[in-house]
Structure 1
């Protein structure tokens, strides 16, 4: 399931490489990963990946993977996308994080917004848009039916080379009632990126700067009152499914967003395992018998247990994506909130397996010299530790989603 079904493309613009396959784009991601792995220090110091890496991703079609064919995109399935993200994370977690939380919201836009909005958002073909979940400020209604929004949206990963921004704010639906969410999208020329991404433990090069909007007018077709992407139900269908005729744009947005967490963690852990294998080949034990670590039963056990956990994490994530596609193929009505939350939690379990491989098997036994500042395993440990600080992981997946699934399964949710 490497390329999703779409309506006939007659009249649609062709992507830069019409014959690009899923396998080739994954192979490209693997080659880029090898190169960015050698440049992690400069990426961290800069705060985001370099312009040459951005251009390589641009020319390689990576900013079109989830863009609909109607707009010159490739419309690849989520299985291809999570493989790409994992490959990039194997080389440099910051690069993968910045890439995926910039491009993945092409899927959000293509699913939730209507045709007029999508015509504008995807006009350039390539799509990079950070998105924030936490609502900021209060939207004011404009005379033309649109909205005026402002505020500083922190942790806008992917902002350095972004073409757009997708955010959440609040609006008052009626006097005396609590404010409701409003999802909106604005082009790059309507917001400012603040130079404030610094001082983090890990993911230092993820380009997670703040985005500042100053009384920006958002036309009605690019604003969705009452919509929060993490809570949006698709059971009654979506504008994207109607527009593109592709189940890729009719499935749950929540679980798709959470798949990235699992993909990033699996990629990071795989990078740590690769480095551990190198250390096993090149270093010896410190206690007799003095042999290469690769011949020592204890190091073999540490490696084997980590490898098994990472393989299980990858398999769980892959099957969750398979379930996502199969459910979407059955129609939006099949993609209930229970399905969306359950698939999201599979991604979280993949993260927990990958984290345990790094924190319990690889990091403690790699040796003190291997976890000095700037060493590969040390950096991966910092990055995957910082991943846990993301509210979507530490709050939603670890707590809210688990309680919600229990309530849905037992009938306590109404």
Structure 2
């Protein structure tokens, strides 16, 4: 389903490089990723990737990969975007994470918001919008029919260069009612970023700062009275009607898990790259002393990790293909059972990636290779941080399993 040519309808703006292909944009990501390896510590110290890296991403077209053609984007397939993510995360986990969770939400915005909202949010060209699922504020009606939002929203990966923010606020319609979540998208001039990231165990350079909104005004057409995770695509979506492209009608829950799984694979491959270098340049610690590449134990450890990561990579590519094929079938194909099954596939990809690093690469690399600031040490910290994400550590190991089973067997909740 990857798009290979840019032929926008009459009257639509062309992207900066109309002849750019998916293969070229992925090749650019691979080349840039090589330069990121030596800048990982720098990104962590700054807590986000540098301005020149941001500019390089913009010139390469990375922030328009998923932006609809209608608004001057490339509208390449999700498969192309995820290959770019894996490449960047392999070079620098924090940079890959920050890029992914800022640029990926062009698909969600292009799916759920009506035409008027999309015309506004995509008018900037490059689109970077961190999103959070936890309601971090409150929303009250403005006399003009819009909303006034106040609150603090944590873990906004991509905030430093964000053009927009997608979040949730709680709305109380009448006294005594339970507050209900409201999804919104707001431009940069309606929020500010706190300098509060970088003290965590891992992903210190992921730009996951807190966003603050103070009496921010959001028009009603940029609001949906639902939660991102609960948005239903069983019927036609605004994006599918507007863009024709079926990828703007896919299931959001499974799509969110694709992001984490792709990042996990890319990050883990960075550790494998470093382990391979150690195999080539280091000797064994105990007699008979020989190159690690010649030692049967190191050969076994390297082979175990390689097999797990190759399997994880194949699985995530297959999951992406299934997601895209379901988009072509139509919104009705994204049943709850299908959504949860795809999510569990992503969970297994993450488990394989973590196992390759945690059981084989990290413990056998040697103490000097996992000291502070070393590449394998950083990957271990970053994947540990990913493991602590509530959506992965809690929801994916409990709720998703239950909901998949209930959907399969037609079991309804009794409360």
TM-score band w.r.t. shorter chain: over 0.9
Which residue is equivalent to 2:141?
141
Query: How far did 1:335 drift?
Result: 1.3
Root-mean-square deviation (CA, aligned residues, Å) is 1.4
The residue that corresponds to 1:69 in the other structure is 69
- Which residue of structure 1 lines up, in the alignment, with residue 29 of structure 2? 29
Corresponding position of 1:206: 206
Cα distance in 2 for partners of 1:25, 1:367 equals: 36
CA positional deviation for 1:177: 3.4
The residue that corresponds to 1:356 in the other structure is: 355
- 1:174 CA displacement: 4.5
User: In structure 1, what is the Cα distance between the partners aligned to 2:409 and 2:173?
Assistant: 32
Equivalent residue for 2:165? Answer: 165
1:346 Cα deviation (Å)?
Answer: 0.9
Tell which deviates more after alignment, 59-68 or 286-295: 286-295
Matches within 5 A, 1:9-158: 9-158=9-158
Closer, same or farther: CA 6–283 of 1 in aligned 2, 3 Å: closer
- Could you tell me how far apart the structure 2 residues matched to 1:409 and 1:77 are? 30
1:379 — aligned with what?
A: 378
Shift of 1:402: 1.5
- CA shift, 1:176, in A, is 3.7
Confirm or deny: 8 A CA contact 1:4 1:75 kept in the other structure: no
Q: Post-superposition shift, 1:5? A: 9.7
Q: Confirm or deny: 8 A CA contact 1:285 1:291 kept in the other structure.
A: yes
SS of the residue corresponding to residue 23 of structure 1 reads helix
Larger deviation, residues 366-375 vs 395-404: 395-404
CA distance in 1, matches of 2:110, 2:319: 21
Take 2:339 and 2:11, find their aligned partners in 1: how far apart are those partners? 34
Match in the other structure for 1:300: 299
* Whole-angstrom CA distance in 2 between matches of 1:42 and 1:242: 44
Q: Map of 1:316-355 to 2, 5 A cutoff?
A: 316-355=315-354
Q: State how far apart, in whole Å, the 2-side matches of 1:114 and 1:296 are.
A: 60
Q: Distance in 1 between matches of 2:321 and 2:406?
A: 25
Partner Cα separation in structure 2 for residue 366 and residue 72 of structure 1 = 47
Note if contact 1:6-1:244 (Cα within 8 Å) is conserved in structure 2. no
Could you give the per-residue CA deviations for residues 286-324 of structure 1, whole angstroms, max 9, x where no partner exists?
A: 222211000111100000010000011011111111111
String of CA shifts for 1:197-240, please: whole Å, max 9, x gaps. Answer: 12111100000110000011111100111x11111110011110
**Aligned partners of 2:383, 2:282: CA distance in 1, in Å?**
25
1:83 is paired with a residue of what secondary structure? helix
CA contact under 8 A between 1:5 and 1:247: conserved in structure 2?
A: no
Any conservation in 1 of the 2:8–2:69 contact (CA below 8 Å)? no
Whole-Å Cα distance in 1 between the matches of residues 145 and 337 of structure 2? 34
TM-score if structure 2 supplies the norm length? Answer: 0.97
Alignment check: 8 A CA contact 1:4 1:248 kept: no
Q: Distance in 2 between matches of 1:362 and 1:205?
A: 23
Match of 1:257 in 2: 256
Distance in 1 between the 2:363 and 2:171 partners? Answer: 49
Q: Which residue number in structure 2 is paired with residue 247 of structure 1?
A: 246
- Change over 3 Å in CA distance of 1:5–1:394 after alignment to 2: farther
CA contact 2:121–2:187 (8 Å) conserved in 1: yes
Partners of 2:368 and 2:264 lie apart in 1 by: 24
Q: Tell me, in whole angstroms, the C-alpha distance in 1 between the residues paired with 2:15 and 2:278.
A: 43
2:388 corresponds to which residue?
Answer: 389
Structure 1 pair 8–55 and aligned structure 2 pair: CA distance change class (3 A): closer
Q: Which secondary structure does the structure 1 equivalent of 2:393 belong to? A: helix
Query: CA offsets, 1:136-166, max 9 Å, x none?
Result: 2221112222111110001111000110111
Contact 1:103-1:127 within 8 A present in 2 as well: yes
Structure 1, unaligned runs of 5 or more: none
DSSP-derived class of the 1:154 partner: strand
CA contact (8 A) 1:89 1:267 kept: yes
Contact 1:7/1:245 (8 A) holds in 2: no
Offset, 1:8 = 5.3
The Cα shift of 1:39 comes to 0.5
Segments ≥4 residues shifted beyond 3 Å: 4-8, 173-177
Matched position secondary structure for 1:349: helix
Q: Which runs of 5+ in 2 are unaligned?
A: none
Residue aligned with 1:303, SS: helix
CA distance in 1, matches of 2:247, 2:223: 22
Tell me the SS of whatever aligns to 1:213.
strand
Deviation at residue 383 of structure 1 after TM alignment: 0.6
Query: Equivalents in 2 of 1:117, 1:331: separation in Å?
Result: 23
